[in-house]
Structure 1
Amino acid sequence: METNRYNKGIEVLQQMVSQETLNATVKHIEKFSPDMAKLIVEFPYGSLYSRPGLDLKQRSLLTIAAMVASGSAAQLDFHVQGALNVGLAPNEIVEAVMHCVSYAGFPKTLDAMFVVMRVFNEQGITYEEV
C-alpha cells in the first residue's frame, strides 16, 4: 500500500485529522478491505486534496457543501473535524451548511447541521452567530 499517492494522501489526512481519527477510519476499513482503505486515501486525499490551486480550508468548505447536497451526513463529522483542524472557524462551517439550504433543501441541511452541532459539542466549541 506504499505508493506515492497513498503517502501523499496520508500526509494530507495527518494535517486534517488526529491519528486516533485516522486509525478509526482508514485502519479500521483496512482490516476489512485493504483495497478500499487504499482507495479512500489515494483518490480523494492523494490525488485531489493534494493538488495545487486550493488550500485545505477551501477544499474542506467544498467537501462540506458537497456532502450536504448529496445527503452524506454519515461521513460529515469526519470532514467537520478536519475543517476545524485546518483552520476553518466554526462560523464558516455553519455558514457553509446554511448556504446549502436553497440548493440541497431543508432536510439534508438540517441533518448536516445536527452533525455540526454534535461535533462542536464533542469538541467543546461554543458557537455564537456573528
Structure 2
Amino acid sequence: MESNRYNKGIEVLQQMVSEERLNATVKQMEKFSPDMARLIVEFPYGSLYSRPGLDLKQRSLLTIAAMLASGAAAQLDFHIEAALNAGLTPNEIVEAVMHCVSYAGFPKALDAMFVVMKVFNERGIQYEER
C-alpha cells in the first residue's frame, strides 16, 4: 500500500487531523477495504491537497463548501476538524456554511451547521456570532 502519494497523503493528514481521527478513518477502512483506504489517502491528500497553488486553509474552505453542496454531511465532521487545524477560524467556518445557503439550500446548510456545532462542542469552542 505504500507509495509516494500515499506517504505524502499521510503527511498532509497528520497536519490536519488528530492521530485519533486519522486512525478512526484510515485504519478502520484498512481493516475492511485496504484499496479504499489507500485511495482516500492517495487521491485527495497525496495528489490534491499536496499540490502547490492553494494552502491548506483555502483547500479546507473549498472542501467544506463542496461537501455541504453535495450533501455529504456524514463526512463533514472530519473536514471541520481538519479546517480548524489548518487555521480556519470558527467564524470563517460558520460564514462559509452561511454563504452556501443561497447556493446549496437551507436543508444542506442546516445539516452542515449542526455538524459544525457538534465539532465545536467536542473541541470546547465557544462560538459567538459577530
Q: Shorter-chain TM-score: what band?
A: over 0.9
Q: Which residue of 2 aligns with 1:114?
A: 114
Post-superposition Cα deviations, 1:84-128, rounded to whole Å, max 9, x if no partner, equal: 011110000000000000000000000000000010011100001
Long gaps (5+) in structure 2:
none
One-letter amino acid of the counterpart of residue 31, structure 2: K
Which residue matches 2:124?
A: 124
Q: How does 1:64-79 map to 2 (within 5 A)?
A: 64-79=64-79
TM-score by length of 2: 0.99
List aligned pairs for 1:1-130, cutoff 5 A. 1-130=1-130
The 1-side partners of 2:21 and 2:13 are apart by 10
Structure 2 distance, partners of 1:27, 1:43, is 16
Distance in 2 (alpha carbons) for counterparts of 1:20 and 1:85: 14
Aligned-partner Cα distance in 2 for 1:70–1:7: 28
Per-residue deviation at 1:54?
0.1
Distance in 1 separating the partners of 2:12 and 2:103: 29
Structure 1 segments (4+ residues) deviating >3 Å: none
- TM-score if structure 1 supplies the norm length? 0.99
State, as a whole percentage, how many aligned pairs show the same letter.
Answer: 86
What is the aligned-residue RMSD (CA, Å)?
0.4
Distance, in Å, in 1 between the alignment partners of 2:58 and 2:115 is 20
The gaps in structure 1 that reach 5 residues or longer are none
Which amino acid is 1:88 matched to?
L
Matched to 1:116, the amino acid is V
Number of aligned residue pairs: give it: 130
